[in-house]
Structure 1
Amino acid sequence: MSTRPEAGPDLGQAPDPGPVRTPGPGPAPVSLAQRKRQLVATELTEAALQLLALRGFDAVTVDEIATTAGVSKRTFFRYFASKEDVVVQFLAGMGADMRTDLAARPAGERPSEALLHAVSVPLTICGDHADRALPVVRLILRTPALLARFLEHQARWREDLTQELAARLGRDARADLYPRLAAGMALAAFDAVLHRWSEGEEAGGSADPGALIGEAFAVLAPALDSVTP
């Protein structure tokens, strides 16, 4: 299905309302106003995901989402520009997580292993929270307006992974095709796994996205690793 303002892979779960403090030097404590904004955003996200997954994207209005969350329509638009935004943010934070995870991989690791770890983390989280994540993934993949927005996010993820992979390998992302091709292959596997997972057990094979991404990379690894220095 993160601590950033977008719900991302935390699946819309409400944060701990207690004080947020970091011992020693580091980020300043999160203010009461910031915690309140996060809680309101979480309530709106939860309300939207429940209604949309149950009734479908076109059948639910912004008014209904706001009412279910216990806020006004005006408040809704302080946090989200549209119904599309409140749904797509469910997965939007994954791209930043992928780049962060890729950057943290050991320098000498094969590209296939590093990329597999990077794209596996959000898929594993989705699998661990399938009761919440799967209905939303299905909603996104089966609603043209949401799918278009999701693909826009994936294009940004591809650019981020391209730049990070190029830096890891000491290559020029503008002159060398490999980083962009490798990033594209990793995200193609990610997308294929989401589609397969959304189809359910009736499609046959494993229904666990963590296992499915491993299967996908078993196919990709020879190509990813054969052209590296």
Structure 2
Amino acid sequence: MRETTTPGLRMKTRQAVTQALTDTALELFDTSGFDQVTVADIVAAAGISQRSFFRYFSNKEDVVFGDRIPSAEEVRAELLRHLDGNPPWEALRRTFRAAAVQMDEDTGHWKRATRVICHTPGLRARYLEKHLAWTDALVPAITPRLGQEAPEARLMTQTMINTALGCFDVALMRWSDGDPGPSLAALVDDVFGFVRFPDA
């Protein structure tokens, strides 16, 4: 009788191969530099063909970003969870702390990915594009809660969100270069604690 592979098993296998390729590529990027590593280098280290590589990733950039960085919609949904009963600045802290807790659960992957992104201008630019998308998604959720007249409320909201993103980036960079160092969640708490917004 011919054996068949269930869709669930195929998905697990694909996830395992994707994870293995990502780990191999990130180690190379972190050691040698993103721009110096080619797809040929990655597949040689992973023991697969280039054709197989492109079944899983469109390009090198997708290896770094994949689908693990939250979308704007996911970040907004997390913020809305924390806005009930909390001032906007505290809700933002809790939102980014939730992301930090998840990243702390896979420290090796995220520290390497963060270092690669921070040290590669092209990847840094793509990451900042995600920041802009997050800002656009979060502004409408926070602005009505500040109790100020527009456009002042929108201006304060944009300032607050961009400050939160800056705080998260500072915590990320310190965390990714520290070994072992404090957890990312702890660093997020520390950095956000340096900033105060009136009535927020």
**Fold-level similarity (TM above 0.5):** yes
> In structure 2, do the counterparts of structure 1 residues 90 and 141 end up closer, same or farther at CA, with 3 Å as the change threshold?
farther
- Quote the offset at 1:208 in angstroms: 3.0
Instruction: Structure 2 unaligned segments of length 5 or more: list them.
Output: 1-5
- Quote the offset at 1:63 in angstroms: 2.1
Residue type of the alignment partner of 2:27: Q
Equivalence for 1:59:
36
Q: How many residues align?
A: 195
Using the TM superposition, name which of 150-159 and 184-193 deviates more. Answer: 150-159
Superposition map of 1:206-225 within 5 A: 207-220=182-195, 222-223=196-197
- Quote the offset at 1:145 in angstroms: 2.1
Q: Which of 180, 196, 199 is residue 158 of structure 2 equivalent to?
A: 180
Q: Which of 36, 56, 70 is residue 93 of structure 1 equivalent to?
A: 70
1: CA distance, partners of 2:115 / 2:37: 16
Equivalence for 2:175:
197
What SS does the corresponding residue of 2:85 show, helix, strand or coil? coil
2: CA distance, partners of 1:209 / 1:83: 26
What is the CA RMSD across the aligned residues, in angstroms? 3.3
Equivalence for 1:103:
80
Q: Is the 8 A contact 2:142 2:157 kept in 1?
A: yes
What SS does the corresponding residue of 2:156 show, helix, strand or coil? helix
Equivalence for 2:137:
160
> In structure 2, do the counterparts of structure 1 residues 78 and 129 end up closer, same or farther at CA, with 3 Å as the change threshold?
closer
Does 1:82 pair with 2:56?
no
What SS does the corresponding residue of 1:189 show, helix, strand or coil? helix
> In structure 2, do the counterparts of structure 1 residues 199 and 167 end up closer, same or farther at CA, with 3 Å as the change threshold?
same
- Deviation readout 1:119-153 (Å, 9 max, x if unpaired): 01222333343333222211211122222222222
- Quote the offset at 1:57 in angstroms: 1.6
Does 1:134 pair with 2:105?
no
2: CA distance, partners of 1:177 / 1:151: 20
The structure with the largest helix share of the pair is 2
2: CA distance, partners of 1:59 / 1:140: 14
Instruction: Structure 1 unaligned segments of length 5 or more: list them.
Output: 1-18, 20-29
Taking structure 1 as the reference length, the TM-score comes to 0.69
What SS does the corresponding residue of 1:92 show, helix, strand or coil? coil
2: CA distance, partners of 1:155 / 1:194: 18
Taking structure 2 as the reference length, the TM-score comes to 0.77
2: CA distance, partners of 1:134 / 1:99: 24
- Quote the offset at 1:105 in angstroms: 1.8
Using the TM superposition, name which of 211-220 and 167-176 deviates more. Answer: 167-176
Using the TM superposition, name which of 80-89 and 173-182 deviates more. Answer: 173-182
2: CA distance, partners of 1:92 / 1:171: 33
1: CA distance, partners of 2:108 / 2:14: 26
Equivalence for 1:24:
none
Residue type of the alignment partner of 2:174: R
